[in-house]
């Protein structure tokens, strides 16, 4: 993500690593990464947004930033993750901003839009649909249940860490399906091999509660991108996403694209983020 700078931004007792690029007076677009990645997942998207004149903010989120890595699982509930987004915006002087999220970053983006709508100008979510739609699909759709079965492993403390990190993180590397460049995969793996880093990232799963299935509808202009090659998210939840957005809504299906949308299809992501951002001007 260049040009730009890496800042350490305090939010309460936590210190976040945040990549900031683009003109200081540009409209702000905040990019939230997913699991098991970092803000580097936006490296192919962010420069395109900067070139279009926007200020881009991409944090390593709670658990991923070494200075924002609490030990207790209870510190990783989704309401706190959404609070981090607002806290970072406050610390950077962003009264209102456009929010983009992929995977877990999308889940946090949905929650931020639902609970803090006054702070957002627009929302673009990649892969994960509104959490009510996602959870409804998990309850009733066999494909969604099969694709979401990995969550049971990730919630098992110790067992998940061992399975993902053994043999030089062979299973962790396999998640990227040969889509993400090896040098970037190596960087993700090195980051999660830091002491406590993977456990902190997995705490997002372990802190989930049934309340996420009751997330309010979003009333922010929204674009949702789902890819038909997604190994984690089934179509049933994606198709139902619109039911939980009470505002202008665009649903885009990316054919032949894997779960790793920001890395595999940065031009398409940029196109739709810019379309959504410009639609609010």
Residue 147 belongs to domain with CATH number: 3.40.50.1820
64 counts as catalytic: no
Interstrand relation of 14-21 and 55-59 (parallel, antiparallel or unpaired)? antiparallel
Question: Shortest CA distance to 115 belongs to which of 70, 150, 85?
Answer: 85
103 given a catalytic annotation = yes
> 56 lies in which domain range?
5-279
Domain count, the chain: 1
CA distance 34 to 251: 20
Answer yes or no: pTM beyond 0.95: yes
The catalytically annotated residue of 84, 103, 188, 224 is 103
Long-range residue pairs from 269-272, CB within 8 A, at least 24 positions apart, any chain = 269/45, 269/126, 269/225, 270/45, 270/48, 270/49, 270/52, 272/124, 272/223, 272/225
pLDDT tens profile 51-80: 999 999 999 999 999 999 999 999 999 999
The count of other CB atoms within 10 Å of the CB of residue 127 is 26
pLDDT in tens, 108-141: 999 999 999 999 999 999 999 999 999 999 999 9
Pair 46, 19: CB distance under 8 Å = yes
The one catalytic residue in 205, 224, 230, 244 is 205
Which of 130, 244, 259, 272 does the annotation list as catalytic? 259
Is residue 259 among the annotated active site residues?
yes
């Amino acid at each position: 993500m260049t040009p730009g700078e890496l800042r350490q931004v305090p939010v309460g007792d936590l210190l976040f690593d945040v990549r900031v690029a683009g003109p200081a007076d540009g409209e702000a677009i905040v990019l939230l990464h997913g699991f098991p990645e970092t803000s580097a997942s936006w490296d192919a998207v962010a420069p395109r947004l900067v070139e279009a004149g926007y200020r881009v903010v991409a944090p390593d989120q709670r658990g991923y930033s070494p200075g924002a890595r609490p030990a207790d699982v209870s510190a990783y509930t989704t309401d706190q993750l959404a609070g981090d987004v607002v806290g970072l915006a406050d610390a950077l002087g962003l009264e209102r901003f456009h929010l983009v999220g992929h995977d877990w970053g999308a889940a946090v983006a949905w929650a931020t839009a639902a609970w803090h709508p006054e702070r957002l100008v627009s929302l673009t979510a990649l892969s994960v649909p509104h959490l009510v739609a996602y959870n409804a699909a998990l309850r009733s759709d066999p494909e969604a249940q099969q694709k979401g079965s990995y969550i049971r492993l990730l919630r098992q403390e110790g067992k998940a860490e061992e399975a993902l990190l053994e043999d030089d993180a062979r299973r962790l590397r396999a998640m990227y399906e040969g889509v993400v460049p090896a040098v970037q995969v190596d960087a993700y793996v090195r980051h999660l091999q830091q002491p406590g880093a993977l456990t902190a990232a997995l705490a997002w799963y372990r802190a989930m509660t049934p309340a996420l299935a009751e997330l309010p509808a979003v009333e922010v202009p929204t674009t949702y991108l789902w890819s038909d090659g997604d190994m984690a998210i089934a179509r049933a939840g994606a198709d139902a996403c619109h039911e939980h957005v009470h505002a202008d809504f665009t649903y885009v299906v990316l054919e032949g694209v894997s779960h790793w949308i920001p890395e595999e299809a940065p031009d398409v992501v940029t196109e739709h983020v810019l379309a959504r951002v410009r639609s609010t001007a």
